[in-house]
Amino acid sequence: MVVLGKDPLDIKRDVREGKITVAVYGMGRVGLPIAVAWLRAGAKVIGVDINHGLVEALNRGETILKDEPGINEGIQTGIKEKRFHATHDGIEASRASDVKIVVVATTLNTNKRIDNRSLVSATESIGRGLKQGDAVIVECTVPPLTTELLIKKVLEEKSGLKAEEEFALAYSPERIYEGRALRDIEENYPKVVGGVGPRSTEVVAALYECVARKGVIRLKRAREAEASKVFEGIYRDVNIALANELAKFCDSAGIDFMEARSAANSQPFCHLHLPGIGVGGLCIPIYPYFVTGVAEELGLEMNITRCARSVNEGMPEYTIDLLKKVLDKIGMKMDKAKVGVLGLSFRGDVSDIRQSPAIDFIKLIRGKVAAVRAYDPFVKAFEGIDTSEKLEDLLMWADVLVVATDHTAFKGIDLRGFGKALAVVDGRNVIDPLLLPKGSTYIGIGRPLSSILL
């Protein structure tokens, strides 16, 4: 089914009628929701992944995304209707599909530059199976200029076809929040599309208008679309760093940051973010380096971006300083303390532990304290870390608690009926100190020990 050069109305009809096959390269936390969104739009979908075990599980209708509504049901329905199957053969998937969506994980190498091996590998497979009239869409986050300078070159070399003339090529960033990925794709955000030329942009925009109910934002080129994605993450990273820096100032000055923040944010032009033990996941901690890497090649400095990343990367170490303050207050030496960590995932109500500041914190204190153990309602076990099955078990075992993840289960929890006083370092400012047992000690990031000692 040729899509390049086809009338947009015909493209939309073909998607609805199941005449277009979409191959999604990467069946992880982003790729699976994308696959389900296209299935729900009417397309046939091929899921591509190099993990043979994952491919076999998907073909049985099993997924690992228990915390993402609609995904299991979507894959199972697709299999039942014979509109979905998974494979590890990326070349054959390219031959069998009309639209190829690349959403493999993009991470950093040891030099804090993009590790594009998975991206190049997937692109090479697509190129070897690419046909005239097909469309290729990059959705994974990449440094600006990647689609035009790297992806286009690889596809043209492997296929012998010319982008924009013989196949469509565009960048369209995935925009999801874990725990509501499918709803974000279909309902919450408009789709951003930038092609390597106007024909590519229009073809891909027509395709995404079948999926995104908020419509499509068309940009001039792929590079603007790539920049829009990393700019979103950098904006958040910089503002979180500002909150962390102001919170540290409050700790030193004896000011309650949360109270000052609430008052400051009553002014409509102020939107101070929340401080915390760190910034995790495969998004915000990585995107700044995508831009600074390109900036270096262009001879530019990105001082604010680099400084923000440094501040946020230093927060697990700063939380150790708060731990020391609490231990001093209760008269316990660091090497004698049993530390209980509440949360292992990088943010609340998901099981994703990638780039988690909770893990970073545990690695930093291991060997400095007598013992460390964690409890997470979403992460029951993690290699190399002792865990408790129940929150109560951790509370009884620990000398001091460190809140590392803002799970709903931890927010405003009432522990006044607990049988002993608690020492708490609140790395997410989710515990209400007034709901702790009498005699407890509490400190939060930006909430000085001296002002809220119970």
Report if residue 3 sits inside a domain. Answer: no
Helix (H) or strand (E) segment spanning residue 129: helix 117-129
Catalytic residue among 140, 210, 250, 283: 283
Q: CA neighbours within 13 Å on the CB side: how many for 387?
A: 19
18-67 pLDDT per residue, tens: 999 999 999 999 999 999 999 999 999 999 999 999 999 999 999 878 77
Report if residue 2 sits inside a domain. Answer: no
What one-character DSSP code corresponds to residue 382?
A: B
424-440 pLDDT per residue, tens: 999 999 999 989 998 99
User: Residues 386, 295: one domain?
Assistant: no
Q: Which two tokens stand for residue 44?
A: 């046939």
User: Residues 319, 292: one domain?
Assistant: no
Report if residue 398 sits inside a domain. Answer: yes
229 is catalytic: yes
* Average pLDDT for the chain: 95
Asked if the model's pLDDT at residue 453 lies above 50, the reply is no
How many other CB atoms sit within 10 Å of the CB of residue 384? Answer: 8
Asked if the model's pLDDT at residue 454 lies above 80, the reply is no
Domain that holds residue 330: 314-451
User: Residues 380, 399: one domain?
Assistant: yes
Taking the CA atoms of residue 199, residue 200, residue 202 and residue 203 in that order, the dihedral angle to the nearest 10 degrees is 110
Helices (H), 385-432: 391-397
How many other CB atoms sit within 10 Å of the CB of residue 241? Answer: 24
Mean of the pLDDT values across residues 143-150?
Answer: 96
Asked if the model's pLDDT at residue 263 lies above 60, the reply is yes
* Beta-carbon contacts of residue 251 (< 8 Å; ≥ 6 apart): 257, 322, 445, 446, 447, 448
How many other CB atoms sit within 10 Å of the CB of residue 289? Answer: 22
88-115 pLDDT per residue, tens: 999 999 999 999 999 998 989 888 889 9
Report if residue 439 sits inside a domain. Answer: yes
Best CA proximity match to 422, nearest among 350, 335, 330: 330
Strands 21-25 and 84-87: unpaired
Q: Which of 189, 220, 251 is the last residue of a domain?
A: 220
CA angle 238/242/243 to nearest 5° reads 120
366-382 pLDDT per residue, tens: 999 999 999 999 998 88
User: Residues 325, 440: one domain?
Assistant: yes
Q: What phi and psi, each to the nearest 5 degrees, are found at residue 192?
A: -95, 130
312-366 pLDDT per residue, tens: 999 999 999 999 999 999 999 999 999 999 999 999 999 999 999 999 999 999 9
pLDDT at 67: 79
Between helix 152-159 and helix 117-129 the angle, nearest 10°, is 40
User: Residues 195, 283: one domain?
Assistant: no
Q: Which of 185, 220, 255 is the last residue of a domain?
A: 220
Report if residue 225 sits inside a domain. Answer: no
Best CA proximity match to 364, nearest among 442, 426, 281, 278: 278
Asked if the model's pLDDT at residue 417 lies above 90, the reply is no
User: Residues 362, 414: one domain?
Assistant: yes
Asked if the model's pLDDT at residue 419 lies above 90, the reply is no
User: Residues 351, 389: one domain?
Assistant: yes
Q: Give residue 450's pLDDT band: very low, low, confident or very high (50, 70, 90).
A: low
283 is catalytic: yes
Whole-model pTM: value is: 0.90
How many other CB atoms sit within 10 Å of the CB of residue 246? Answer: 19
Catalytic residue among 100, 158, 191, 229: 229
Q: CA neighbours within 13 Å on the CB side: how many for 394?
A: 23
User: Residues 403, 419: one domain?
Assistant: yes
Q: Give residue 452's pLDDT band: very low, low, confident or very high (50, 70, 90).
A: very low
Best CA proximity match to 163, nearest among 149, 174, 173: 149
pLDDT at 65: 81
Percentage of residues in the chain with pLDDT exceeding 90? 89
CA angle 221/227/229 to nearest 5° reads 115
The answer to whether 193 touches 204, Cβ cutoff 8 Å, is yes
DSSP string, 264-319: HTTSTT-------S---SSSTTTHHHHHHHHHHHTT---HHHHHHHHHHHTHHHHH
162-205 pLDDT per residue, tens: 999 999 999 999 998 888 999 999 999 999 999 999 999 999 99
User: Residues 350, 432: one domain?
Assistant: yes
Report if residue 318 sits inside a domain. Answer: yes
DSSP string, 58-101: HHTT--S-TTSTTHHHHHHHHHHTT-EEEES-HHHHHHH-SEEE
Q: Give residue 261's pLDDT band: very low, low, confident or very high (50, 70, 90).
A: very high
Q: Which two tokens stand for residue 251?
A: 């700790």
- What's the rounded Cα separation, in Å, for the pair 345 and 348? 7
How many other CB atoms sit within 10 Å of the CB of residue 417? Answer: 7
User: Residues 41, 66: one domain?
Assistant: yes
The most distant pair of C-alpha atoms in the chain lies apart, rounded to whole Å, by: 74
The structural domain count of the chain equals 3
How many other CB atoms sit within 10 Å of the CB of residue 38? Answer: 29
Q: Give residue 289's pLDDT band: very low, low, confident or very high (50, 70, 90).
A: very high
Asked if the model's pLDDT at residue 390 lies above 80, the reply is yes
Mean of the pLDDT values across residues 277-284?
Answer: 93
Residue 253: CATH number of its domain: 1.10.1040.10
Report if residue 226 sits inside a domain. Answer: no
Residue 195: CATH number of its domain: 3.40.50.720
| Overall size of the chain counted in residues | 454
User: Residues 214, 275: one domain?
Assistant: no
Report if residue 358 sits inside a domain. Answer: yes
User: Residues 329, 308: one domain?
Assistant: no
Q: Which of 255, 287, 312 is the last residue of a domain?
A: 312
